[in-house]
Structure 1
Amino acid sequence: MVRRAGAMAVLAASLVVLCGCSPSSTRPTPTSEATPDAVPTATAIDPVRLAVDERLEAMTLEQKIRSMLMLHYPGTDPAPVREFADHVQPGGLILMGDNIGSSEEEVRAFTSALSSDEIFPLLLGIDEEGGDVTRLPWDELPAGSTLADSAPELTTEAFTARSELLESAGLSVNFGIVADVTADPSSFIYYRVLGHDPASAADRVTRAVQAESGHVYSTLKHFPGHGGAPGDSHSSIPVAGASLDEWRATDAVPFAAGIAAGAPLVMTAHVAYPAVDSAPASLSAAWHNILRDELEFTGVTITDDMLMLQRNGLAEFADPVENAIRAIAAGNDMLVYVLPADPGDVDIDLDALVSSVAAAIDSGRISEDAIDASVDRLLCLRFALGG
């Protein structure tokens, strides 16, 4: 995949205006009254809107659902990974440590061979925070454990350099900006946050988003905030005791700052704030409404790894199909699954999952208009990558 940072920066900056709404809502509305002496003017054709509308209209319902998945397939040989992607037709792939070769050149060769669609290439995501959460062995740049207590300018320098590493390796989405905030050293997320109070975290999150702009798509995580929710969401549903007003004054601040700085993606977390909703935020329409309406986020919402829900041992989340339906019904645009080579090993049947989501749409449990809006947002990101 050929990447042009300058073109991507310009086009990505316009995506919120062009594609941050439901499909075709930017088309001009014809008027019924004619002005006799008026000189007709040509309506400008927006190539982004035109390309996305045409692709969306050509997709079947099943293809739309598949495009809302970001999946993992292990290995550094691109051939089986591409075969998997061509068969399943996800909208993206997430690379883990088992996909990373020994050099930047190897990773770039790997990523450049994964997309068969040059106009709407796959979103290629990676968790590259630095420090404890590093997939690229040559990324020795400072992470939250250092940046939170350092001069803010170091955050700009670190994320500029890190995003350049990712771009050079052919990655397009970084799940690397931790917008959580906590001052508690015993917190699971403490050594990954960029600030230990809302204001300092917000400043560094803003800098990180600005630094990554034009190189990779930034993702803010873990919305609505893991800092006030004790426990590890990889194996439980951490519960935060904050009220909504307390959240607005604390955990919300870095997310609001990152959104204002232009972050195109927000990752929803498997954490619960009972004052808002007893369900984890990843499955909560209430939290998605707050994200869209209060924080005015118009970009792509994406879940944390959906397999984490199955690992917490709670019967409510034992069914991966039900989890997927709930996640999409709540308002997520994209679902992440860090799968093994055989998804059946984690009780996932991708074809059955897609069929079940389609059935939920047919029954009215999920709005088809919402599906179209989600796919529209995703296609806008992918089109920008196609150059």
Structure 2
Amino acid sequence: MLKLGRGGIGLVALLMTGCSAGLGATAPSARPSETVTSPASMPASSPPPSPSPSPSATAPRTRAEETLAGMSDEDKVAQLFVAVVYGTGADSSRKENRARYGVDTPVEVVKKYRPGGVILFNWADNISSVSQVAALTTGLRKASATPLVIGVDQENGIVSRLSPLITKLPGSLAIGRTGDPGNARDSARVTGEELKALGISLDYAPVADVNINPRNPVIGPRAYGSDPRKVAPMVGAAVDGFHDAGVASVAKHFPGHGDTSVDSHTGLPVIKHTLAQWEKLDAPPFREAIKHGVDAIMTAHVVMPKLDPSGDPSTLSPKILTGLLRDKLGFDGVVTTDALDMAGVRKKYGDAEVAVRSILAGADMLLMPPDYPTAYEAVLKAVRSGRITRDRLDQSVLRILRLKEKRGLYGPITTDPGAVKSAQHLKIAKRLLAETGSGA
């Protein structure tokens, strides 16, 4: 969590878990003794795959469409989830894996649950050296029957999961103060190239929030600034930079987390912007990200009562995720939740219901549910009962698979740890650090 006063910015420990880390260091809620119906353990008599969207009569199926057509309901539901795994190696045994998933190693987690993605953290013991990270991502991808997205929160600045392994670059606020979107693009490209070299295919960046509240305890210098007219081109340029590198980018946190005085890791922020205010203050960076082809947009666990009077956080709001993001802004990429172990999304409903309501609201990927088996079973049950229609499920899975296809995950598994901190990257970093004058 970041505490921002009018006179300065301070860092406290909670922020170091990051915006998509939630309360990851807390005791796990899944119990090893629970009976879990994982995708790999489903009986052979489970229902046949549901009909999937078919291409036109003249166009051949894409790899994503072919994959979807061969999936069972269990496989499809599995694709909606992004898991945290514990350990430095793909075959490392950790008690946290046993407690949360009923198996010992990261590879066993992937084989049992077949998640659509995995997110890496230093606090999960995933990051110690460039060769180790490359070996871990390679092992995880080889273990997955379907191409696996591997993501990380590498915003640079104060949220830098891979520090000090990769090239040090200025944070977003420092980049924003230069007034040059080219700097945002260069920074994102360097970061993206190094992530790709380590086998990481998605960065949960850039931050698209406009930090208009100087007392914001969680965004602060993670944003490019407080003026949407200046933040928007920075966000668009960063998206371009990640795409230059061949990795997926995620603009966060929709519909905007910039005008809060409550941290959604620990509470439920309420933002009283009208639709007109939202259009002027919060929407421009997200519009720009969409214009530049951003792969995914992350939801915010914030309540905006004038946009949705239900009192539900945006992550659970059809009016916001479907009405605003899909219909009004025209976004048809992947919508990912912020971490579902954060307090802001857990206050009103239980962990099972939160997972289902996120999908019904318009989300495609469920990030870090605190009780993974319960969330998986709840979504599968909702599909079988018709509460989540199979057409709705297929929409999400096809978006996820298309992202994977677009970012080359159907191709060979390769890494290049030697490309990290290249002479060219260090030269760019030196220039950016000099231009920002802060080094952070």
> Structure 1 vs Structure 2: percent identity of aligned residues?
35
| Correspondence for 1:324 | 355
Is 1:356–2:378 an aligned residue pair?
Answer: yes
Paired residue for 2:53? 24
Unmatched tracts of structure 2, length 5 or more: 1-50, 92-104, 412-440
Whole-Å separation in 2 of the counterparts to 1:265 and 1:23: 22
Equivalence for 1:171: 200
Q: Are residue 96 (structure 1) and residue 121 (structure 2) matched?
A: yes
The answer as to 2:162 corresponding to 1:136 is yes
Superposed CA offset, 1:193-228 (max 9, x none):
012211111010011000000421000000000012
Asked if structure 1 preserves the Cα contact closer than 8 Å seen for 2:268 and 2:345, the reply is: no
Which letter does structure 1 place at the counterpart of 2:89?
A: D
Deviation at 1:23, TM superposition (A): 5.0
How many angstroms apart in 2 are the aligned matches of 1:52 and 1:110?
Answer: 25
Aligned to 1:386: 410
SS of the residue 2:249 aligns to? strand
Matched, 1:308 2:342: yes
2-side partners of 1:296 and 1:74: how far apart?
A: 37
Give the conservation status (yes or no) of the 8 Å contact 1:120–1:382.
Answer: no
CA distance in 2 between partners of 1:372 and 1:172 (Å): 23
Given that 2:176 and 2:231 are in contact with CA atoms closer than 8 Å, whether structure 1 keeps it comes out as yes
Shift of 1:99: 3.9
Is residue 212 from structure 1 mapped to residue 238 from structure 2 by the alignment? no
Amino acid at match of 1:386: Y
Q: Which residue of 1 aligns with 2:414?
A: none
Q: In structure 1, what residue type is equivalent to 2:318?
A: A
Q: In the alignment, is residue 223 of structure 1 matched against residue 254 of structure 2?
A: yes
Counterpart in the other structure of 1:45: 60
Change (3 A) 1:183 1:349: closer
Shift of 1:164: 1.2
User: What residue in structure 1 maps to residue 314 of structure 2?
Assistant: 281
- 1:144-174 CA-to-partner distances (Å, cap 9, x unmatched) read 1311212323212211111111111110010
TM-score by length of 1: 0.82
Distance, in Å, in 1 between the alignment partners of 2:126 and 2:78 is 25
Report the Cα distance in structure 1 between the residues aligned to 2:357 and 2:145, rounded to whole angstroms. 31
Structure 2 residue 277 is matched with structure 1 residue 246: yes
> Which residue of structure 2 aligns with residue 75 of structure 1?
87
Give the distance between the partners of 1:184 and 1:310, measured in 2 at CA. 19
Q: CA deviation at 1:25?
A: 5.4
8 Å Cα contact 1:329-1:367 kept in structure 2: no
Amino acid at match of 1:211: G
Matches within 5 A, 1:140-159: 140-152=168-180, 153-159=182-188
Q: Give the Cα separation in 1 of the matches to 2:78 and 2:69.
A: 15
Q: What secondary structure sits across from 1:221 in the alignment?
A: strand
Distance in 1 separating the partners of 2:153 and 2:386: 35
Distance 1:310 1:86, change over 3 A: farther
Instruction: Kindly provide the CA deviation profile for residues 72-96 of structure 1, in whole angstroms up to 9, marking residues without a partner as x.
Output: 0111111111111111111110101
Write the distance in 2 (CA, Å) between the matches of 1:284 and 1:323: 11
Q: Distance in 1 between matches of 2:302 and 2:389?
A: 25
Does the alignment pair 1:193 with 2:223? yes
- Residue by residue over 1:112-154, the C-alpha shift from the partner in whole angstroms, topping out at 9 and shown as x without a partner, is 1112367842100100001111111234111113112123232
Is the counterpart of residue 367 in structure 1 residue 389 in structure 2?
yes
| Deviation for aligned residue 1:385 | 1.3
- 1:299 matched to which residue of 2? 333
- Aligned-pair CA distance for 1:274: 0.4
Check 1:379–1:151 CA distance in 2 against 1; reply closer, same or farther (3 A cut). same
| C-alpha distance in 1 between matches for 2:345 and 2:307 | 24
Offset, 1:101: 3.4
TM-score normalised by the chain length of structure 2: 0.73
Q: 2:139 aligns with which of 95, 99, 113?
A: 113
Flag the 1:25–1:254 CA change in 2: closer, same or farther, 3 A: farther
Q: 2:77 aligns with which of 49, 53, 65?
A: 65
